[in-house]
Structure 1
């Protein structure tokens, strides 16, 4: 049941993202076939950076947001997650040109092993952000978003997602992954400057 819920959560989150629009219901089944879980190995973290109490909206400075062309105010939320156990704090920031949304989640209820152990579905590619192990996650069934998952501490991770937010034509998935990696790099710069 937990694996089924995680798979459903991945599909819902990658479909709905962390937008300020309507919320998807966990009871609503996905309309596309479920993807297969993937197992991945990552190197150890260079050090631990606990993110308890870190405001995700503080992790992109106003200057960094300008560089990412995010011109709308950050929208913070804390609520039960459709993907991770328990409540998760996240921040969504949108831009108009192009129509993109970057969301940052400070996940203190699950670590990177949530993704590396095959509990979550998606195409995963190992990466390194500011010398920390990371994963770039693409949905195998949806193409309007891309996540970067950063291993920052035992049982904790940062989830940075880029989504096309109504762009016409939609932003290509490869570009969304590049945007997510760029945003994740800036997020880690800010987090490291705070510790």
Structure 2
């Protein structure tokens, strides 16, 4: 008798897991559709306007002539890539009409947000949205100058676009707030171009 009771009890429990009420999902109603964006590490999906592979991207190409004028940029020229940012990384040096500030853009190809949080420190990052992309802002200390401001744009899984601004050498009127204002403005412009690619 005891052997018969166990299957009936199990059947009763399983029946309770499947609801047929209108508007109430049952275990059989779940779909296996995968998110269109996200990470393979099993973390929450990342919502981006468009995931762009930065391996073939020239960061200088993200600044249009109209944006250059609107942002008060004098130039945007190819720079020297930094080995720390991964093989194939590219760099772009930016100068403003107001010579108080300079900036750079880098493609980071050797790790995404998880690596950023480990290397910079999660407590030093401020989350923000830049033209629909998740992004992170941090301020950088620099001996002998005002320091700088960095905006990391989560452009693709395992890849970041870094936009920074900092006080020029010997520019005593530069401020960290001024650097952050310029870094965020350039980041917003290039992220909009990125989303349209």
User: What is the Cα deviation at residue 169 of structure 1?
Assistant: 2.1
Structure with greater proportional helix content: 2
Q: Which residue of 2 aligns with 1:99?
A: 100
Confirm or deny: 8 A CA contact 2:165 2:183 kept in the other structure. yes
Q: Which residue of 2 aligns with 1:181?
A: 184
The match for 2:149 is: 146
- Are the counterparts in 1 of residues 141 and 148 from structure 2 also a CA contact under 8 Å? no
Q: Give the gaps of 5 or more residues in structure 2.
A: 1-42
Q: Structure 1 length normalisation: TM-score?
A: 0.68
Query: What's the RMSD between the two structures over aligned residues?
Result: 2.5
1:26-83 per-position Cα deviation (integer Å, ceiling 9, x unaligned): xxxxxxxxxxxxxxx99723352222211111011122112221113x22135342x4
CA distance in 2, matches of 1:189, 1:167: 33
Aligned to 1:130: 131
C-alpha distance in structure 2 between counterparts of 1:79 and 1:158, whole Å: 13
Larger radius of gyration: 2
- Alpha-carbon separation, structure 2, partners of 1:42 and 1:70: 37
SS at match of 1:168: coil
SS of 2:79 mapped into structure 1: strand
Following TM superposition, the consecutive aligned residue runs of length 4 or more in structure 1 with deviations greater than 6 angstroms are none
Corresponding residue pairs, total: 151
Residue matched to 2:29: none
CA contact (8 A) 2:142 2:148 kept: no
Equivalent of residue 71 in structure 1, options 70, 74, 78: 74
1:131 offset after TM fit, Å?
A: 1.7
The verdict on how the C-alpha distance between 1:43 and 1:169 changes in structure 2, with shifts beyond 3 A counting, is farther
Higher relative strand content: 1
TM-score by length of 2: 0.67
**Which of structures 1 and 2 has the larger relative contact order (alpha carbons within 8 angstroms, sep 6+)?**
1
